[in-house]
């Protein structure tokens, strides 16, 4: 089953066509702003004449505008193509990338840069289901034994070592179990 994955909650424009963990096509680039103008043409270029069987969209936390752009595009394409649309936390995508890099991890504290010196994060286990994310100042709580840091928000913590400092990457959506998917409804930092 081919899935179009979309992530626009960060400065990255990240889209991928996946079939399970197999990435069939991918575009992941830092564009900062301009997701509204770039997203649909990027999807058209990525898919060509093909259509996916489902869509997974990053619902945040992250950029308020970016989240809305991704969800609106996913819902519109889902309705036009008659395919289901599922939402996933940006933190699940960050954690999925970390677990792909190190499958022996017990848990990962996935962090995104929430702006203004804050990070949004959650402790995610191998099931990749994200509990309610927390908005926090750069001060970090103690991590449980066996937990690692991952995501762009980890760059706000000087002297820490993270598995990766990347923004949510749609290419890892195919690694997410059904339990990590939900409704395509926005999840803003602090919700």
Domain ranges (residues) in the chain: 3-89+169-180, 91-156
Supply the pLDDT for residue 139: 44
Is residue 174's pLDDT more than 50?
yes
Enter the tokens of residue 46.
């990525």
pLDDT tens digits along 64-90: 899 999 999 999 999 999 999 999 999
Across the range 31-48, mean pLDDT stands at 95
Give 127 or 131, the one with higher predicted confidence: 127
| Calpha distance 170→7 (Å, rounded) | 6
Closest among 176, 172, 65, 67 to 127, alpha carbons compared = 176
Overall size of the chain counted in residues: 191
Q: Report the 10 Å Cβ neighbour count for 49.
A: 5
| Calpha distance 6→169 (Å, rounded) | 9
Give 117 or 137, the one with higher predicted confidence: 117
**Coil, strand or helix: which one is 178?**
helix
| Chain centroid, CA 153 distance in Å | 13
CATH superfamily, with its number, for domain 3-89+169-180: ATPase, nucleotide binding domain (3.30.420.40)
Across the range 106-131, mean pLDDT stands at 86
Supply the pLDDT for residue 191: 47
Across the range 51-69, mean pLDDT stands at 95
Q: Which residues on adjacent β-strands are paired with residue 30? A: 12
Give 133 or 142, the one with higher predicted confidence: 133
């Amino acid at each position: 089953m081919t899935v179009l994955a979309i992530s626009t909650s960060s400065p990255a424009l990240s889209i991928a066509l996946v079939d399970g963990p197999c990435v069939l096509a991918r575009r992941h680039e830092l564009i900062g702003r301009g997701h509204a103008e770039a997203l649909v043409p990027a999807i058209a270029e990525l898919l060509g004449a093909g259509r996916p069987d489902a869509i997974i969209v990053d619902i945040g936390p992250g950029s308020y505008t970016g989240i809305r752009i991704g969800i609106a595009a996913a819902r519109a394409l889902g309705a036009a193509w008659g395919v289901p649309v599922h939402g996933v936390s940006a933190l699940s995508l960050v954690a999925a990338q970390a677990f792909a890099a190190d499958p022996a991890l017990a848990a990962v504290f996935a962090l995104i840069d929430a702006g203004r010196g804050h990070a949004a994060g959650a402790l995610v286990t191998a099931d990749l289901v994200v509990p309610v994310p927390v908005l926090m100042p750069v001060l970090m709580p103690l991590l449980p034994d066996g937990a690692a840091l991952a995501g762009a928000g980890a760059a706000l913590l000087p002297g820490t070592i993270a598995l990766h400092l990347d923004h949510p990457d749609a290419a890892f959506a195919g690694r997410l179990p059904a339990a990590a998917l939900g409704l395509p409804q926005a999840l803003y930092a602090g919700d």
